[in-house]
Structure 1
Amino acid sequence: MTTATELSVEGVTLTAGAHRLVRDVSLTARPGEVVGLVGPNGSGKSSLLRAVYRVLRPDAGLVRVDGADAWRLPPRRLARTLAAVVQQSAADFDLSVRDVVAMGRTPHKRLLDGDDAEDVRLVEAALAAVDAVDFADRSFDRLSGGERQRVLIARALAQQPSLLVLDEPTNHLDVRHQLDVLGLLRRLPATVLVALHDLNLAAYHCDRLYVLRDGEVTAAGTPVDVLTPHLLAEVYGVSAEVEVHPRTGAPHVTFLPDAPPAPAAPAAPVREHAGS
């Protein structure tokens, strides 16, 4: 993979008809960071990611990739920089797993180019990275949901992006493969922007978090600064205890289903904590 890319989202607003999906959202992902998007269902996480990987054009604001307007870059050039793993992909390929992963090499090849030794090496490495070697010759359309998810992640890895955008990449995965995939993201020489539902996974694997609610950024900063009982009550409407885990050193959230949510205090202006 190439040197990690800087991503900057500047005042992005997205609408669908009369419905506002995201309003005036700004965020940064610095080269080599793993930045997490968290928030309730319908908070705008997926919509914001679609603006980043150029499916949903912003009504206002800019998405910059290493300073360039992502929406003005030639598609092939952007595909050599950015790879996306989308949520609940409806893709149904009548291809082998290995051939699906090899599709990730397309942005780096001319129209009639075949696979060379380097392509083969990168595809095999991507399969190994997601523990998919054993079913590499099976048909993609016969895989389970979790197996498909791992193959689509492998396809993105084979693309060798310097910016990787993922929407709920742990969906359908068992616990072992959730940990494997997120651990892999931390080791990549790439910048990662990832939407996650599991707050404890986000707390452990992400350098910084942006919390979305109703299409707006409610909080931003390091996991220890952002994941507080007050924020969880305000954003998710639940009571929780948050402690630093003695082994991981990351915040660990324990939800309290039988306790009433803590009363919400007046909202403060959103800002990232110093040093985050």
Structure 2
Amino acid sequence: MTGTELVIDGVTLTAGARRLVEDVSLTARPGEVIGLVGPNGSGKSSLLRAVYRVLRPTTGRVDVDGMDAWSLPVRQLARTVAAVVQESGAEFDLSVREVVAMGRTPHKQLLDGDTPEDADLIRSALAAVDATDLAHRPFDRLSGGERQRVLIARALAQQPSLLVLDEPTNHLDIRHQLEVLGTLRQLPATVLVALHDLNLAAYYCDRLYVLRDGSVTASGSPVDVLTPQLLATVYGVTSEVTIHPRTGAPQVTFLPGAPPLAAQVEAGPPVS
């Protein structure tokens, strides 16, 4: 498993008369972890759907290693791209191990059984998300957090060179959030991940793209992007951003009750 280059070039996505994403461009170089952040409804999930080929761009291209993702044969795409989506609604009448084994399907011929290599990859994927003890449990009896970890393990077992994840830390406790993102950080694959937690995004991502109303508002390293001014403009909140003395990553502290900086600036100085 090695990283692949992803280039999103001028992509616009629509649903009927509604514009979901407008003229978005993004590049993820091999082995990078790229974070998508932004408020609810900003277009993060829609943009990811264009990458794993659920929502076709109205204009623009999604290229994987220089090839149009939408022109690739399904089997070839499945060997390259794996996706973990929000609220998949998957109800598999299978054991956890059988669900994770589905990740090996793109690498097999019809009716092929598991090879020793498949078995090793499945065990490794389960271990990576702390789900080894769930292997023989029915998938449909798991909690939301357990299901999420199993679906991430299925994507890992697929051995993609591009891994696309939409809020993978949803439903996970703090320990498993850190373990899952730490695993993604160590993969040789390229990772494109949408996150709500800005502090997790700041620590684990190489670069961030900030979406607002379907467009990219800012992009760059976390330390360049996560500023009080941007957070006020994009999220409508007041915050302080410091550099953590041990991690070196930006750390965002929100200040409840204070008017957003953008509102303060717009209103001007208080009248005495």
Give distance in 2, aligned partners of 1:195 and 1:170.
Answer: 10
Aligned to 2:270: none
- 2:223 and 2:152 mapped to 1: Cα distance? 28
- In the other structure, the counterpart of 1:36 is 35
- The within-5 A match list for 1:59-208 is 59-208=58-207
Alignment partners' CA distance in 2, 1:49 and 1:218:
17
Unaligned residue ranges in structure 1 (runs of 5+): 267-276
Structure 1 equivalent of residue 218 of structure 2: 219
Distance 1:196 1:45 in 2: 9
SS at match of 2:171: coil
Q: CA contact under 8 A between 2:236 and 2:262: conserved in structure 1?
A: no
Where do 1:22-33 residues align within 5 Å?
A: 22-33=21-32
Deviations 1:33-83 (A, max 9, x none): 000000000000000000000000000000000000000000100110110
- 2:9 corresponding residue in structure 1: 10
Take 2:37 and 2:49, find their aligned partners in 1: how far apart are those partners? 15
- Long gaps (5+) in structure 2: 267-272
Taking the aligned partners of 2:12 and 2:89, their CA distance within structure 1 comes to 26
* 1:210 paired residue number: 209
In 1, Cα distance between the equivalents of 2:36 and 2:169? Answer: 14
Partners of 2:172 and 2:100 in 1: CA distance: 18
Give the alignment's TM-score, normalised by structure 1: 0.95
Offset, 1:263: 2.3
Q: Structure 1: how far apart are the matches of 2:259 and 2:234?
A: 14
**Secondary structure of the structure 2 residue equivalent to 1:263:** helix
Contact 2:103 2:158 in 1 (8 A): yes
User: Which residue of structure 1 aligns with residue 239 of structure 2?
Assistant: 240
Q: How many angstroms apart in 2 are the aligned matches of 1:132 and 1:26?
A: 36
Offset of residue 257 of structure 1: 1.0
Deviating 4+ runs (over 3 angstroms): none
- Please report the TM-score for the alignment, with normalisation by the length of structure 2: 0.96
The superposition leaves residues 76-121 of structure 1 with CA deviations (integer Å, 9 ceiling, x where unpaired) of: 0011011000011100001000000000000000011111111111
One-letter code aligned to 1:136: A
- The structural deviation recorded for 1:191 is 0.3
User: Which whole-Å CA distance do the structure 2 matches of 1:60 and 1:157 have between them?
Assistant: 31
2 CA distance for matches of 1:256 and 1:22?
Answer: 30
AA aligned to 2:157 is A
Secondary structure of 2:262's aligned partner:
coil
Q: Look up the equivalent residue of 2:98 and give its one-letter code.
A: D
> What is the aligned-residue identity percentage?
80
**Separation (CA, whole Å) in 1 of partners of 2:213 and 2:3:** 31
Count of residues in Structure 1 that have an aligned counterpart in Structure 2: 265
